[in-house]
Structure 1
Amino acid sequence: MKFSVFIYSLVLSRFIVSSSDYCEGSSKGSVCSEESMQVSRNLLQATMRAVRVHAFGGPEALRFDTDVAIPEPKEKQILVRVHAAGVNPVETYLRQGTYHIKPALPWTPGNDCAGLVEKVGGEVTKFKPGDRVFTYKTVSGSYAEYTVANENDVFNLPSELSFQQGAAMGIPYFTAYRALILRAKAKAGQKVLVHGASGSVGIASVQLAKAYGMTVYGTAGSSEGLKLVSNIGARSVFNHKEPGYTDKIMEATDGLGVDIIIEMLANVNLQKDLELLARGGTVAVVGNRGNIEINPRLTMVKETSIVGVLFPPGAEEEKQQVNAAIQPGMEQGWIKPVIGKEYTMKEASQAHEDVISNKPTLGRLVIVI
């Protein structure tokens, strides 16, 4: 009996010591925090901490649960130990129950995250335990210590990026690439305006457009935002809260307008966008929060187009295309996600308030797990 207890204690101690691996990439830089020790204890108990919604409502509906079952990956799925999770506006709509899709309750928010592969299903071929990864989408939600994702929604995270930056890759950069390259058909040499360039998708759009040889103009709503957008590669920046800023954009383009506009708030800016477009130009609508009245004649006179942007369900070939395009950028340094603010899991409700507030946005909001 004493021998059995000794063996169990030895195995347990080795398991807990190994949990220091989970502390890599911690924003606090600690070798092994109390939180990671809790992860080790939870693994033995097959439970984890997670932020969940038990009833639709406001930010207060986000509840911090400490005894959630760790999900088990199926044959083509991967269990990821989450280090950081991105916060997206759509998650606030889902939390409220006002989105066209209503998740089953209790529900864990979150799709894009970054961390380490903990376990793989029997048919997974691209990854192994210990790999650094980021996700575009998850099955079980990413506001949790562990999440399950389909293999095709998991991608390699180069060592050049932190886990927090990895949590800014999935939805922002995939959306920006789809808007710019796949929907707007942007080409080298064209003029691109990113309307709302200091947020996570805006930053991604500026970096991609510059890397692909386009002339980039960007707007932001604060001096800090303008400085950020300029630093990441925009030729000229404009404060979209100042009267007459669209006149300044036209002046910067010698009165010709821009070829492509990546629009983050169409219900406010779409009419202005149509006035700013050059002949044959395109507005790619990434974000919208209401209705707006526009003059369709503007599209006729200059034969311009308005296209919506939303990754369709599946779209496996396109996701692989985007990943192939952005991996070199992460490795070579021309893709550098900007983190605006970090939150703990217990601060998820504040993150939801901030992501849809009217305050100027500066980079990606992430929850550090």
Structure 2
Amino acid sequence: MALQQLIIVGFTVLSIGFNAQNSEKKMSELIQNEFQFAENQYKYLMKAIPEDKMPQSYKASEGKVITKDISWWCSGFYPGSLWMIYEQTKDPDIRKEAERTLSLIEPNKTFTRDHDLGFMMFCSFGNAYRITKDPKYKEIILTSAESLSTRFRPGMQAILSWDKMADFKGPVIIDNMMNLEMLVWASQNGGNKKTEEIAIAHANTTIKNHFRPDYSSYHVIDYDVNTGKVLGKKTFQGYADSSAWARGQGWALYGYTMMYRFTKDEKYLNQARNIAKFILNNPTLPEDKIPYWDFNDPKIPNVPRDASAAAIISSALLELGQYTKGDEKKNYVETAQQMLINLSGEKYHAKLGENGGFILMHSTGGLPLNSEIDVPLIYADYYFLEALKRYKDWYL
């Protein structure tokens, strides 16, 4: 090889190495800054909520933080976020608030009225136990898993999401994949072995019935509870029954990536990879990678974004990168990085003391329900913080 070519190759290698180091440094600084911001911002949030409620969103027109009772499906995200912030900053006031809110929601451990107990109790007590190893937190998780398992219906081989409603006989929503994490974790950490069997059965039933040929997911599958016959493939929060509701695709991606983590069953990994392909190659995914609220809304681009979907997807992609190699892994990690950088930017990120104390702006809860449109949402913050932690732990 000629000297000139050697010099060019040498400079190219140095340039790549320098750019990689520079990128790592920038992400390290971004993550450190974000957790410091979250610590300060949540001190505003904690002052704005009643002692017996959990923060959910913010109504800017009234300057009012929207709060919910502890039985609301999102009650675990605030304490979970506090624990992740404490883990990074060690602020005693943040820990004190995290412990207070755990005490508040502990009665949920026997809650059996819907499927959301994983969100409520594993996002909260799961993080608390991971960080502190306090055995009382573990016992609460094991009890919660037993409670959730009571919603399993053998006839349909799935966990019933909601009880019978006017429009649904046996509804199972894609969101339910997220609640399987608590069931498998509990089984593998001293709990009832049947809870993992239930989680696997539910995941397999969902693969069979929830997905279209392009690996996009329906929101709701309605079953005959006794026979498992599919009665309908519907939506509750998406644009249409046939559309790909953005947050639902995030739940699916996260759920199957997580199930592969626990079981090492290749079918779950392949399912996650195909869901990722649908999301990342979708022609309506914006250049900044923050999805519109539904991939199939015909009014795109004149529709709301969903920062919560981006936060969930970025966190899931970072884990999927742990189980893949080469260009595929690079694509997942770089896309997640782009999402995190953009969520940290002015367009989607609050300023200190604003946005009701929430971190992210521009999430969409239920547009067809005229609910939580273009607002902060507590679970957007939670998965954003989780994605930042995952990036720090796995890629720095």
The answer to which structure has the higher helix fraction is 2
Query: TM-score normalized by structure 1?
Result: 0.30
The answer to which structure has the higher strand fraction is 1
